[in-house]
Amino acid sequence: MNRSNRQVRLAARPGGEPRPTDREHVEEPTGQPDGGEFVVQVLCPSTDPEVRGWMNAGRSYLRPVGTGEVMRAGTVGRVTASRRSGSSVDNHVPGAFGAHERCVPDRRGVTKVDPAAPLPTVLKIAD
């Protein structure tokens, strides 16, 4: 199944206080997992203050989010499809998946977490 993926992208670098026109909402198909990949449905995105700094073009501890790129965000999600050993459907996983509704993250390792844990507290280990 190739479900829709709503996401938030940086449309323009804010000159001060971010405005609604500095971001754009985009909808595209969610990719299908290849061997070693999985699909995550984001359940709990983080809205940390550093998101504002990532919108700037200046040098920081992480490269800035590029114009047109999905906004960076720590998240907790649920695996909805998997072709990766050790990542099963319904596993809850934290990661820097970004401001997506669902996505196929890169192949870096992820840690499974207890699905009964309050998801906002799990974000503390997603960074």
- The predicted pLDDT at position 111 comes to 81
How are the residues of the chain apportioned to helix, strand and coil, as percentages rounded to the nearest 5?
A: 10, 30, 55
pLDDT in tens, 80-125: 998 888 788 999 999 889 999 999 987 676 788 888 888 778 876 5
Residue with tokens 């507290």: 121
- The predicted pLDDT at position 65 comes to 95
Residue with tokens 């790129």: 69
Which residue segments constitute the domains of the chain, with CATH numbers given?
A: 4-13+21-125 (3.90.180.10)
- The predicted pLDDT at position 127 comes to 44
- Which residues, in sequence order, are bridge partners of residue 103? 40
pLDDT in tens, 5-50: 999 999 999 989 999 999 999 999 988 888 888 999 999 888 888 8
Q: pTM score > 0.85 for this model?
A: no
Q: Are strands 4-10 and 23-29 parallel, antiparallel or unpaired?
A: antiparallel
Distance of CA 9 to the CA centre of its chain: 11
The C-alpha atoms of residue 87 and residue 113 are separated, in whole angstroms, by 11
